[in-house]
Protein backbone atom coordinates (compact mmCIF):
# COMPACT_ATOMS: atom_id res chain seq x y z
CA UNK A 1 0.00 0.00 0.00
CA UNK A 2 1.31 3.44 -0.95
CA UNK A 3 2.23 5.57 2.04
CA UNK A 4 -0.12 8.50 2.63
CA UNK A 5 1.74 11.79 2.18
CA UNK A 6 2.64 13.89 5.18
CA UNK A 7 2.50 17.03 3.08
CA UNK A 8 0.72 18.09 -0.10
CA UNK A 9 2.28 20.97 -2.02
CA UNK A 10 -0.26 22.85 -4.15
CA UNK A 11 0.96 25.15 -6.93
CA UNK A 12 -1.35 27.07 -9.31
CA UNK A 13 0.04 27.29 -12.86
CA UNK A 14 -0.68 28.96 -16.17
CA UNK A 15 2.14 29.09 -18.72
CA UNK A 16 5.00 28.71 -16.25
CA UNK A 17 7.50 26.67 -18.29
CA UNK A 18 10.28 29.16 -17.56
CA UNK A 19 10.19 28.51 -13.82
CA UNK A 20 8.15 25.43 -12.88
CA UNK A 21 11.09 23.04 -13.30
CA UNK A 22 13.19 25.06 -10.85
CA UNK A 23 10.31 25.22 -8.37
CA UNK A 24 9.77 21.45 -8.62
CA UNK A 25 13.48 20.82 -8.08
CA UNK A 26 13.43 23.02 -4.96
CA UNK A 27 10.38 21.21 -3.56
CA UNK A 28 11.81 17.77 -4.25
CA UNK A 29 15.09 18.68 -2.61
CA UNK A 30 13.43 20.32 0.42
CA UNK A 31 11.11 17.37 1.10
CA UNK A 32 13.53 14.55 0.35
CA UNK A 33 13.03 11.82 2.91
CA UNK A 34 9.44 12.84 3.63
CA UNK A 35 6.26 11.35 2.18
CA UNK A 36 4.88 14.12 -0.01
CA UNK A 37 2.92 14.91 -3.15
CA UNK A 38 3.09 17.90 -5.46
CA UNK A 39 0.02 19.01 -7.35
CA UNK A 40 -0.04 21.70 -9.99
CA UNK A 41 -3.50 23.13 -10.59
CA UNK A 42 -3.27 24.16 -14.20
CA UNK A 43 -5.44 26.64 -16.08
CA UNK A 44 -5.05 25.86 -19.79
CA UNK A 45 -1.29 26.25 -20.09
CA UNK A 46 -0.27 26.48 -23.74
CA UNK A 47 3.42 25.88 -23.14
CA UNK A 48 5.39 22.98 -21.59
CA UNK A 49 4.35 23.68 -17.97
CA UNK A 50 2.51 20.38 -17.52
CA UNK A 51 5.14 18.28 -19.28
CA UNK A 52 7.96 19.70 -17.17
CA UNK A 53 6.06 19.39 -13.89
CA UNK A 54 5.02 15.78 -14.56
CA UNK A 55 8.58 14.84 -15.51
CA UNK A 56 9.65 15.97 -12.04
CA UNK A 57 6.93 14.09 -10.19
CA UNK A 58 3.94 16.43 -10.05
CA UNK A 59 0.31 15.44 -10.46
CA UNK A 60 -1.72 17.71 -12.74
CA UNK A 61 -5.19 18.89 -11.74
CA UNK A 62 -7.08 20.49 -14.60
CA UNK A 63 -8.94 23.65 -13.65
CA UNK A 64 -10.07 25.55 -16.76
CA UNK A 65 -11.92 28.16 -14.71
CA UNK A 66 -9.77 31.23 -14.15
CA UNK A 67 -9.03 32.52 -10.69
CA UNK A 68 -6.32 32.25 -8.05
CA UNK A 69 -8.78 31.18 -5.38
CA UNK A 70 -10.50 28.79 -7.75
CA UNK A 71 -7.21 27.01 -8.37
CA UNK A 72 -6.50 26.61 -4.67
CA UNK A 73 -10.01 25.39 -3.88
CA UNK A 74 -9.69 22.69 -6.54
CA UNK A 75 -6.24 21.70 -5.29
CA UNK A 76 -7.20 21.60 -1.62
CA UNK A 77 -10.14 19.31 -2.36
CA UNK A 78 -7.78 16.71 -3.80
CA UNK A 79 -4.90 17.10 -1.35
CA UNK A 80 -4.21 14.02 0.76
CA UNK A 81 -1.47 15.22 3.09
CA UNK A 82 -1.72 15.89 6.80
CA UNK A 83 -0.25 19.29 5.99
CA UNK A 84 -0.79 21.49 2.94
CA UNK A 85 1.87 23.88 1.65
CA UNK A 86 1.37 26.47 -1.08
CA UNK A 87 3.80 28.14 -3.45
CA UNK A 88 3.66 30.22 -6.60
CA UNK A 89 5.22 28.73 -9.72
CA UNK A 90 7.53 31.69 -10.34
CA UNK A 91 10.43 30.97 -7.93
CA UNK A 92 9.48 33.78 -5.55
CA UNK A 93 8.84 31.63 -2.45
CA UNK A 94 11.41 29.54 -0.54
CA UNK A 95 10.34 25.92 -0.85
CA UNK A 96 13.21 25.06 1.47
CA UNK A 97 11.25 26.60 4.38
CA UNK A 98 8.40 24.09 4.16
CA UNK A 99 9.98 21.50 6.52
CA UNK A 100 10.81 24.28 9.00
CA UNK A 101 7.22 25.49 8.96
CA UNK A 102 5.91 21.96 9.53
CA UNK A 103 8.26 21.58 12.49
CA UNK A 104 7.00 24.86 13.96
CA UNK A 105 3.39 23.74 13.53
CA UNK A 106 4.14 20.53 15.39
CA UNK A 107 6.37 21.95 18.11
CA UNK A 108 4.15 24.96 18.91
CA UNK A 109 0.85 23.13 18.38
CA UNK A 110 -0.23 25.58 15.68
CA UNK A 111 -2.62 25.18 12.76
CA UNK A 112 -1.59 27.75 10.14
CA UNK A 113 1.66 29.53 9.27
CA UNK A 114 1.78 32.37 6.77
CA UNK A 115 5.10 33.33 5.18
CA UNK A 116 5.69 37.05 5.74
CA UNK A 117 7.47 38.56 2.71
CA UNK A 118 7.59 42.16 3.89
CA UNK A 119 9.41 42.24 7.23
CA UNK A 120 12.78 41.33 5.72
CA UNK A 121 11.99 42.31 2.12
CA UNK A 122 14.80 42.84 -0.37
CA UNK A 123 13.52 45.84 -2.33
CA UNK A 124 14.78 44.33 -5.58
CA UNK A 125 12.15 41.60 -5.21
CA UNK A 126 9.16 44.00 -5.21
CA UNK A 127 8.72 47.38 -6.83
CA UNK A 128 7.69 50.49 -4.90
CA UNK A 129 4.14 50.44 -6.25
CA UNK A 130 3.57 46.90 -4.99
CA UNK A 131 5.16 47.70 -1.62
CA UNK A 132 2.78 50.63 -1.18
CA UNK A 133 -0.17 48.51 -2.25
CA UNK A 134 0.69 45.84 0.29
CA UNK A 135 0.88 48.43 3.07
CA UNK A 136 -2.57 49.75 2.16
CA UNK A 137 -4.01 46.24 2.11
CA UNK A 138 -2.51 45.54 5.53
CA UNK A 139 -4.27 48.67 6.79
CA UNK A 140 -7.50 47.36 5.28
CA UNK A 141 -7.12 44.11 7.24
CA UNK A 142 -6.51 46.06 10.45
CA UNK A 143 -9.44 48.46 10.00
CA UNK A 144 -11.98 45.81 9.01
CA UNK A 145 -10.87 42.87 11.17
CA UNK A 146 -8.46 44.27 13.79
CA UNK A 147 -6.00 41.91 12.10
CA UNK A 148 -2.47 43.23 12.69
CA UNK A 149 -0.86 41.30 9.87
CA UNK A 150 2.63 41.92 8.56
CA UNK A 151 1.69 40.63 5.10
CA UNK A 152 -1.94 40.10 4.13
CA UNK A 153 -1.14 39.12 0.53
CA UNK A 154 1.61 36.51 0.71
CA UNK A 155 1.00 33.31 -1.23
CA UNK A 156 3.06 30.94 0.92
CA UNK A 157 1.13 29.12 3.65
CA UNK A 158 1.64 25.83 5.46
CA UNK A 159 -1.26 24.48 7.49
CA UNK A 160 -3.03 21.40 8.78
CA UNK A 161 -5.47 20.09 6.18
CA UNK A 162 -8.03 19.30 8.88
CA UNK A 163 -8.68 23.01 9.51
CA UNK A 164 -10.20 23.57 6.06
CA UNK A 165 -13.61 22.54 7.36
CA UNK A 166 -13.47 25.49 9.79
CA UNK A 167 -12.71 28.15 7.18
CA UNK A 168 -15.46 29.87 5.18
CA UNK A 169 -13.68 30.51 1.90
CA UNK A 170 -15.82 32.43 -0.60
CA UNK A 171 -13.42 34.12 -3.05
CA UNK A 172 -12.37 32.51 -6.32
CA UNK A 173 -10.06 35.41 -7.17
CA UNK A 174 -6.91 37.01 -5.77
CA UNK A 175 -8.73 37.97 -2.57
CA UNK A 176 -8.60 34.30 -1.59
CA UNK A 177 -5.09 34.98 -0.26
CA UNK A 178 -6.20 37.59 2.26
CA UNK A 179 -9.44 35.76 3.04
CA UNK A 180 -7.70 32.55 4.12
CA UNK A 181 -5.52 34.56 6.52
CA UNK A 182 -8.45 36.47 7.98
CA UNK A 183 -10.31 33.19 8.51
CA UNK A 184 -7.31 31.41 9.97
CA UNK A 185 -6.44 34.29 12.30
CA UNK A 186 -9.98 34.33 13.68
CA UNK A 187 -10.68 30.60 13.89
CA UNK A 188 -7.47 28.59 14.39
CA UNK A 189 -3.98 28.91 15.87
CA UNK A 190 -2.19 31.27 13.49
CA UNK A 191 1.37 32.57 13.14
CA UNK A 192 3.31 34.68 10.66
CA UNK A 193 6.95 33.79 10.02
CA UNK A 194 9.31 35.97 7.92
CA UNK A 195 10.60 34.45 4.68
CA UNK A 196 13.03 35.49 1.95
CA UNK A 197 11.02 36.62 -1.06
CA UNK A 198 12.82 36.50 -4.42
CA UNK A 199 12.33 38.28 -7.76
CA UNK A 200 9.86 36.40 -9.93
CA UNK A 201 10.67 34.53 -13.12
CA UNK A 202 8.38 34.45 -16.12
CA UNK A 203 5.32 36.42 -17.16
CA UNK A 204 3.57 38.62 -14.60
CA UNK A 205 -0.08 37.55 -14.19
CA UNK A 206 -1.08 40.14 -11.58
CA UNK A 207 -3.08 43.17 -12.71
CA UNK A 208 -1.74 45.63 -10.16
CA UNK A 209 -4.49 48.24 -10.08
CA UNK A 210 -7.48 45.99 -10.73
CA UNK A 211 -6.45 43.20 -8.35
CA UNK A 212 -5.25 45.63 -5.70
CA UNK A 213 -8.52 47.59 -5.73
CA UNK A 214 -10.64 44.43 -5.70
CA UNK A 215 -8.64 43.03 -2.78
CA UNK A 216 -9.00 46.25 -0.82
CA UNK A 217 -12.78 46.33 -1.40
CA UNK A 218 -13.06 42.67 -0.41
CA UNK A 219 -12.18 43.44 3.21
CA UNK A 220 -15.28 45.57 4.00
CA UNK A 221 -17.47 43.32 1.88
CA UNK A 222 -16.42 40.26 3.86
CA UNK A 223 -16.77 42.10 7.16
CA UNK A 224 -20.06 43.94 6.60
CA UNK A 225 -21.28 43.44 3.01
CA UNK A 226 -22.56 40.73 0.69
CA UNK A 227 -19.58 38.41 1.16
CA UNK A 228 -20.23 38.27 4.90
CA UNK A 229 -23.47 36.43 4.17
CA UNK A 230 -22.03 33.92 1.70
CA UNK A 231 -21.18 30.36 2.57
CA UNK A 232 -18.08 28.94 0.91
CA UNK A 233 -17.91 25.51 -0.69
CA UNK A 234 -16.72 22.52 1.28
CA UNK A 235 -12.95 22.04 0.90
CA UNK A 236 -12.41 19.17 3.35
- pLDDT tens for residues 186-222? 999 999 999 999 999 877 667 788 999 999 999 999 9
Q: What is the CATH number of domain 7-228?
A: 3.90.550.10
The structural domains of the chain, with segments of one domain joined by +, span 7-228
Choose the weakest-confidence range: 21-35, 47-61, 199-213. 199-213
d(CA 113, CA 191): 5
Q: Is the dihedral of CA 223, 101, 119, 21 positive or negative?
A: negative
What is the pLDDT at residue 202?
74
Instruction: Report the predicted TM-score, pTM, of the whole model to 2 decimal places.
Output: 0.96
pLDDT band at 99 (very low <50, low <70, confident <90, very high): very high
What is the pLDDT at residue 49?
98
Give the mean model confidence (pLDDT) for residues 95-104: 98
Strand partners of residue 37: 8
State the chain's mean pLDDT as an integer: 96
Q: What percent of the chain has pLDDT over 70?
A: 98
What is the pLDDT at residue 208?
83
What is the pLDDT at residue 205?
66
Q: What is the pLDDT of residues 74-95, one digit of tens each?
A: 999 999 999 999 999 999 999 9
- Residue 7 CB contacts under 8 Å (≥ 6 apart), including other chains: 31, 34, 35, 36, 37, 81, 82, 83, 84, 85, 98, 102, 158
Amino acid sequence: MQEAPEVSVVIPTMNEEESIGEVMDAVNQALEGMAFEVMIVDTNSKDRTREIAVSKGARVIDEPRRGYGRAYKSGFKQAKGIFIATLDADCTYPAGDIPKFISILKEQNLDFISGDRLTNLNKEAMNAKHRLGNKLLNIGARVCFSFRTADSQTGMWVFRREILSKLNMTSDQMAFSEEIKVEANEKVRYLEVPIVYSPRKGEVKLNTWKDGFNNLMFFPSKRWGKVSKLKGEKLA
